[in-house]
A = this chain, B = another copy of it.
Amino acid sequence: MTSRPPRPRERGIPEATVARLPVYLRALQTLQDRGTATVSSEGLAGAAGVNSAKLRKDLSHLGSYGTRGVGYEVEYLIYQISRELGLTQDWSVAIVGIGNLGRALANYGGFGTRGFRIAALLDADPEVVGRTVASLNVRHIDSLEEVVRSKGVSIGVIATPGGSAQGVASRFVEAGVTSILNFAPVVLNVPDGVDVRKVDLSIELQILAFHAQRRADGDGHAHRSGLEVT
């Protein structure tokens, strides 16, 4: 089935690995900025805050890019991870809901370090539409379909209040956007084949509160093992 000797990478990278690749990438870029040319799994794992065996196994899913006895060449590994993550191409992002959060996102410079370009901002409020935010003209939400088409938007960011989020998501999907990042605190319903990720501040706080309470409760010797030490 698969050719044995020249197998650079197999299909199907574990989801847990995918979620860590961006972390490795950032650690590598920091190393590169410092002029480091080569790094061992131990060194990179330290910088990324993970176990070195886990890091090696993660990287092994992309291929065999290390040199035994030496380590990994920083620049080459950056390239390989970038390619795997799809960062060698450009992604057009549209943000809907230019309120407190939307504005912060729009003004956020170091967006994805590379690859992601904010192509459009949309809102429903006549007060906001027409204003310029982060050198972009805020368009009306009614032109979403047109904007997605003309700007080739492939990733939609939702920063509207919860009540509007599902509607916006549906319109994104309708317009052909299959990657959505949702900041609104609601569960989005989308058809199969559409990828939704959510960022939820209040969930994170609640998880922190749970652990904090546990520590206070049982007190004394304290905490179960689940504490992040990142």
Contact = CB atoms under 8 A, between A and B. Distances in A.
Contact of A215 (B87, B108, B193): B193
Contacts of A211: 18, 179, 195
B23 A190 contact: no
Contact of A103 (B100, B154, B179): B100
Contact of A195 (B103, B188, B199, B208): B208
A19 B206 CA distance: 9
A74 B201 CA distance: 24
Interface stretch (A52-60, A139-147, A222-230): A222-230
A223 to B, nearest CB: 6
Contacts of A224: 11-12
Given A100-B108, A112-B202, 18 more contacts: A18-B207, A22-B202, A22-B203, A22-B206, A25-B206, A47-B187, A85-B213, A86-B210, A89-B213, A104-B104, A178-B212, A179-B211, A180-B208, A190-B230, A193-B215, A193-B227, A194-B227, A198-B230
